[in-house]
Amino acid sequence: MSDLNPAELSRYARHLAIPEFGIEGQRRLKGARVLCIGAGGLGSPITLYLAAAGIGGLGLVDPDSVEITNLQRQILFGQKDLGRKKLEAARDRLLDVNPHVDIQLHPELFTSANAMRIAADYDVIIDGTDNFPTRYLSNDVAVWLRKPNVYGSILRFDGQVGVFAPHLGAPCYRCMCPQPPPPGMVPSCAEGGVLGVLPGLIGTMQALEAIKLITSVGQPLLGKLLHVDTLSMRFRTLTLRRDPDCPVCGEHPTVTEPIDYQGFCGIPSATAPASEIPTMTVHELKQLRESGDNHFLLDVREPHEQSISRIEGAVLIPLGELESRTSELPRDRRILVHCKSGGRSARAVSLLREEGFENVWNISGGIIAWAREIDPTMAEY
């Protein structure tokens, strides 16, 4: 067990004063390593509180840079960090909070190719992501490596927290959600919005659950899902049960190594051949518009996104409504589909082609690329 030096004894004095926690709990924290997947809304309070609490090792996974839209909720960052890599800015902030923490940066996407390698050296995995492929991946890796997976999710005013750990007798994430929702059915925070303080609440509870797991203090949310409705400030605790037929943690598992999680969640792979997802650049779209081409421009974002910025003439049908509204689309014209950055529109193109639409194209980079390369006066978000 790691010994505490005089500086640490002073720093953690309020922990040491708690009879149930004391010096033994603090030593366990110092000897533990936690991996946080995502350094965004949830990752900010998770890492800040774990660092302040005295976690020995903290790994962060995130490939992104700091943008202005992050600052409404991602309290790791400030105005001075705009444009910086998130993990570089996070490291500086966390070491300022506590220089005794060993911080390991993984500035890459958490994928099937690297997940097992990254997660292997940590004791607890914390899911601070906002997409289903990574949630299923982090769950599966945690099951195979026999590590607790501290789960959190947020959207608009609601949040959830739980601990998945079959090796401790609790279910895994797949026991609760055997199948992902259809693409577009559940919006991400970027699509649906999130109240800025909500990830602070949920992320802090995730950090707390990790501390309880490491120190054996209290009762972690094993086999429990805590749901929070912040509009009414109502907390509900749901009991979850293991599924004996779960393909990952069940009695006869059929998924024993990482799979194509994008495909599992119905999302076109980024490595799919171009012939599968016909793509057009914003410059090609501009040329078509200027030539008078008789195309149909479809915007599959959410209404609040279109209120921020829109391309003149685009027809709004949110992705989640598209399958039930295909009758509103022309079959005798070329359909060009855009969203914020190209992901949802790629899913829309796949959906429309499955519905028999033949001349459908995805606008690469979406309205963000349009704003940056075609119309710099347009607001970004």
Q: Which residues are catalytic?
A: 189, 339
| Token output for 6 | 């005089």
CA distances from 111 to 62, 265, 328 (A): 11, 14, 37
Residue 265 and residue 198 in contact, taking contact as beta carbons nearer than 8 Å: no
**Phi-psi bin for 183: left (phi > 0), alpha (psi -120 to 50), beta?**
beta
Name the DSSP class of 152.
E
Neighbours of 6 (CB within 10 A): 7
d(Cα 194, Cα 69) in Å, to the nearest integer? 11
Instruction: Give the CA count within 13 Å in the CB-facing half-sphere of 129.
Output: 21
Helix%, strand%, coil% for the chain, nearest 5:
40, 15, 45
| Token output for 328 | 């509103």
d(Cα 290, Cα 365) in Å, to the nearest integer? 20
Closest alpha carbon to 41 in 116, 153, 208? 153
Residue 190 and residue 249 in contact, taking contact as beta carbons nearer than 8 Å: no
d(Cα 133, Cα 186) in Å, to the nearest integer? 13
Residue 170 and residue 163 in contact, taking contact as beta carbons nearer than 8 Å: yes
Residue keyed to tokens 């350094």:
39
By CB atoms closer than 10 A (0-12, 13-18, 19+), residue 83 is exposed
Sheet with 33-37: list strands edge to edge: 102-106, 57-61, 33-37, 124-127, 149-155, 158-164, 224-229, 234-239
